[in-house]
Amino acid sequence: MKLKSLLISSFLWSSIILAAPVDTGHAEVSIIKSEQSDNSRIVNLGIKMDMKAGWHTYWINPGDSGGVIDIEWTLPDGNETSDVSYPSPHKIPYPPLMTFGYEDYVIFPLTLSLDDPNQDIPISAKIDFLICADVCIPETALIQTSLNSIKNDIELNTWINKVPSVLLPNIASVNDNNLELRFSFNEVIENIYFFPEQENIFIYNLNQELIKEQNNWLLKIPLISDSPSNLDGILIINNQSFVIKSQLEESSSSAMDSISIWQALIFAFIGGLILNIMPCVFPIISLKALSFVSMGGGSTRKVRLHALNFCLGVIISFLAIALAILLLQKGGTMVGWGFQLQSPVIVAFLAVLMFVIGLVLLTDINIGTSLTRLGSVGNNDSSYLGSFMTGVLAVIVASPCTAPFMGAAIGYALIQPSAITVPIFLSLGVGFSLPYLLLALFPSLITRMPRPGEWMNTLKEFFAFPMFATSLWLLWVFSFQTTTESLISLLITILLVSTIFWIITKSKSKTIRILSIVTVFIIISIQLSSINTSQVNANTNKPISTTSSEAWNINIENKLKELDQAYLINFTAAWCITCQANDKLALSKPAVKAYLEENDIKYIKADWTNRDNDILKILTEYGRTGVPLYLYWKPGLDQTLILPAVLTEELLLNSL
């Protein structure tokens, strides 16, 4: 008897040690893990279900019938698991019903967070699931093992990759009891199906109606009755899986139809032209204007080539931004206009760059690089590369600004196929470079500018101070994105760069100058590499506005509308100069504050200084991909009003 008990105990213990699969009747269930690095606190686990042929289990939304997997974990304190992730499902029709799930085989990935990565811990999991063929049977697997006893299985990584992660930009609306999902896709669509996460809202037909519109695709999914406020799910196109996340509103037409491609091209052109006089671009443009003045009386061919190289730098930069956004979106990253300034590394680089340009303008140091030749006006600079790089720099510093007409054009562009997106950005670049294109066509216009003289050197030195001001503003933006320690480190870097520039002005040795310049590049590189993007300041509610506001969340509009509460939402960012100008000139004015309070209008600020996909989703739904965006609604309005991108006190009060 004792021998029998010992044999049974040995068998059970060996099952625990080896984490043997549990046969539940119609499936073998086990826990697996992937290879992990030493001292890693995050372990990838998987619930592996090897089902008998013809049997299936279910996705997070099982469809018309079924049930999802449920796991009860028992772990030592300080250790916890995530929810399971669901790989892309497929349709399992049982006419007249439609279900969603996995047939024969599936692995559900999840993660385990460890308190002590060097310690082996006991793991117990009670796994309840529904498995079906012609009949459905609820089954349970009880697994007791330890972390080190769980087998490594390279197949887990394959199923992790089957979990959809690429976010597809889209616009979703409800029209005539149908969900209308509009999106762009550059290939011929052979098969498509939308799997919604919400249950009991949609009619799960075998096929969903797909319509090819002029510039995008429209997928119609019939609703049972009430429409959801938010839409989450998986869209499978030609066996490629995309994540869909949208906020829904009742509407008879999509925001994508609000303007045509020709209107978008015209808006982009006008917006680019106006961008020349926006405050973020003015210092760079002024320097280039001075360089053209210095060519007065010179060769018309030289003027034409410099103007064309500047235009080429502008246009190529706008096209590069368009392609970068398209590639990031294709990879599942949602970005919008000005996205590069959401990176503290880029903001820090521009802060140092603007400061260096200011020093060059003030001291007339000729470092010999393209960008520093911005300061060598009047010195017979023949560098066409310098003009090209000035155009590039002008576009970089233009990104914090959104000129009138630009918002609608860019918002339209970024939810269209690339064949439409790129021409709209090209139109934006052509509009921005139009004054210099005219100068290239008619070089004689340079003779109508003031004659070169000593006044140019004085004005050139004066323009150093707008550069210093731009650097200070970028430091202010940087303070919202990172920690105090990172800001102090950046300020020390600027101090060191200033000291080295002073050494350059005092030294006549060419060797010392070269070594000093190399030292500047090394210091800047070390500073940029030391910025830990994982330490981005999470306090995005830090006040960047002098007007008191309430916190924003993705569902706030629906909640306020349900309460019949009027609201004004300000989508802003610390790096957006247009936003800050609107705040000072309109939103922070006493008369505006008093009007909001007297009329019980909630003022809400959505701060996009740091990357926030929820904010970008709402911007996209309103046909925008950048800030500023101002939304106003009050009881009695059928739709939310979009206020102009450039505000004044009078204009804002009249709009409200």
Q: What DSSP element (H or E) covers 616?
A: helix 613-621
Give the model's pLDDT for residue 533.
46
Q: How confident is the model at residue 376 (pLDDT cuts 50, 70, 90)?
A: very low
Can you tell me the mean pLDDT for 536-555? 56
> How many Å apart are CA 503 and CA 513, to the nearest integer?
8
Per-residue model confidence as pLDDT tens digits over 224-245? 766 666 788 999 999 899 988 8
Q: Does domain 2-161 have CATH number 2.60.40.1230?
A: yes
Give the model's pLDDT for residue 329.
63
Q: In this structure, are residues 415 and 335 in contact, taking their beta carbons and an 8 Å threshold?
A: no
> How many Å apart are CA 644 and CA 655, to the nearest integer?
9
Can you tell me the mean pLDDT for 510-537? 70
Spacing of C-alpha 399 from chain mean position? 14
Per-residue model confidence as pLDDT tens digits over 84-111? 999 999 999 887 788 999 999 999 999 9
Give the model's pLDDT for residue 12.
38
Mean pLDDT is lowest, of 142-151, 281-290, 592-601, 646-655, for 281-290
Looking at every residue in the chain, the average pLDDT score rounds to 77
Give the model's pLDDT for residue 93.
87
Q: In this structure, are residues 314 and 437 in contact, taking their beta carbons and an 8 Å threshold?
A: no
Query: Would the pLDDT of 64 be above 70?
Result: yes
Q: How confident is the model at residue 167 (pLDDT cuts 50, 70, 90)?
A: confident
Residue 438 or 61, more confident: 61
Give the model's pLDDT for residue 104.
92
Q: How confident is the model at residue 194 (pLDDT cuts 50, 70, 90)?
A: very high
First to last CA, the chain: 88
Can you tell me the mean pLDDT for 254-269? 68
Query: Which 3 state secondary structure label does DSSP give 532?
Result: coil
Query: Which 3 state secondary structure label does DSSP give 20?
Result: coil
Same fold, 171-257 and 550-655: no
> How many Å apart are CA 429 and CA 314, to the nearest integer?
6
Residue 272 or 56, more confident: 56
Q: How confident is the model at residue 336 (pLDDT cuts 50, 70, 90)?
A: low
Whole-Å CA distances, 462 to 302, 362, 449, 457 = 26, 8, 19, 9
Give the model's pLDDT for residue 484.
76
Q: In this structure, are residues 621 and 171 in contact, taking their beta carbons and an 8 Å threshold?
A: yes
Give the model's pLDDT for residue 405.
61
Query: Which 3 state secondary structure label does DSSP give 291?
Result: helix
Thinking of the domain 171-257, which architecture would CATH place it in?
A: Sandwich (2.60)
Cα torsion angle, 613, 619, 624, 627, sign? negative
Can you tell me the mean pLDDT for 343-364? 78
Query: Would the pLDDT of 610 be above 70?
Result: yes
358 backbone dihedrals φ, ψ, rounded to 5°: -60, -40
Whole-Å CA distances, 642 to 615, 623, 638 = 15, 10, 13
> How many Å apart are CA 361 and CA 354, to the nearest integer?
11
User: Which of 165, 194, 199 has its CA nearest to residue 68?
Assistant: 199
**Sequence ranges of the domains in the chain:** 2-161, 171-257, 261-535, 550-655
Give the model's pLDDT for residue 281.
64
Query: Would the pLDDT of 83 be above 60?
Result: yes
> How many Å apart are CA 127 and CA 22, to the nearest integer?
10
Q: How confident is the model at residue 345 (pLDDT cuts 50, 70, 90)?
A: confident
Query: Which 3 state secondary structure label does DSSP give 389?
Result: helix
Query: Which 3 state secondary structure label does DSSP give 613?
Result: helix
Q: How confident is the model at residue 402 (pLDDT cuts 50, 70, 90)?
A: low
Give the model's pLDDT for residue 344.
80
Per-residue model confidence as pLDDT tens digits over 110-144? 999 888 888 888 999 999 999 998 888 899 999 99
Residue 407 or 343, more confident: 343
Task: Using only the alpha carbons of the chain, give its radius of gyration.
Answer: 30
The CATH classification number of 550-655 equals 3.40.30.10
Structure tokens at 156: 């887990």
Residue 419 burial (10 A CB sphere; 0-12, 13-18, 19+): exposed
> How many Å apart are CA 36 and CA 113, to the nearest integer?
12
Spacing of C-alpha 649 from chain mean position? 31
Structure tokens at 393: 């720099």
Q: In this structure, are residues 413 and 405 in contact, taking their beta carbons and an 8 Å threshold?
A: no
Q: How confident is the model at residue 71 (pLDDT cuts 50, 70, 90)?
A: very high
Residue 73 burial (10 A CB sphere; 0-12, 13-18, 19+): middle
Per-residue model confidence as pLDDT tens digits over 455-498? 667 777 777 787 788 788 788 878 877 777 778 888 888 888 88
Per-residue model confidence as pLDDT tens digits over 209-226? 888 876 678 898 888 766
Give the model's pLDDT for residue 142.
93
Alpha carbon dihedral 358, 361, 367, 373, in 10-degree steps, equals 110
* Range list of H helices, 548-610: 556-562, 577-582, 590-598
Can you tell me the mean pLDDT for 614-628? 75
Give the model's pLDDT for residue 327.
75
Query: Would the pLDDT of 159 be above 90?
Result: yes
Can you tell me the mean pLDDT for 138-166? 90
- pTM of this structure: 0.48
Q: How many CB atoms lie within 10 A of CB 37?
A: 7
Query: Would the pLDDT of 642 be above 80?
Result: yes
Give the model's pLDDT for residue 16.
42
Beta strand 230-237 pairing with 550-551: unpaired
- Which letter, b or e, does each residue of 518-548 get, where b requires 16 or more Cβ atoms within 10 Å of its Cβ? eebeebbeebbeebeeeebbeebeeebbebe
Per-residue model confidence as pLDDT tens digits over 559-598? 888 888 889 998 888 777 677 778 888 888 888 888 888 8
Q: How confident is the model at residue 517 (pLDDT cuts 50, 70, 90)?
A: confident
Give the model's pLDDT for residue 165.
85
Give the model's pLDDT for residue 52.
92
> How many Å apart are CA 28 and CA 83, to the nearest integer?
21
User: Which of 178, 90, 72, 57 has its CA nearest to residue 126?
Assistant: 72
Which of 299-308, 437-446, 536-545, 596-605 is predicted most confidently? 596-605
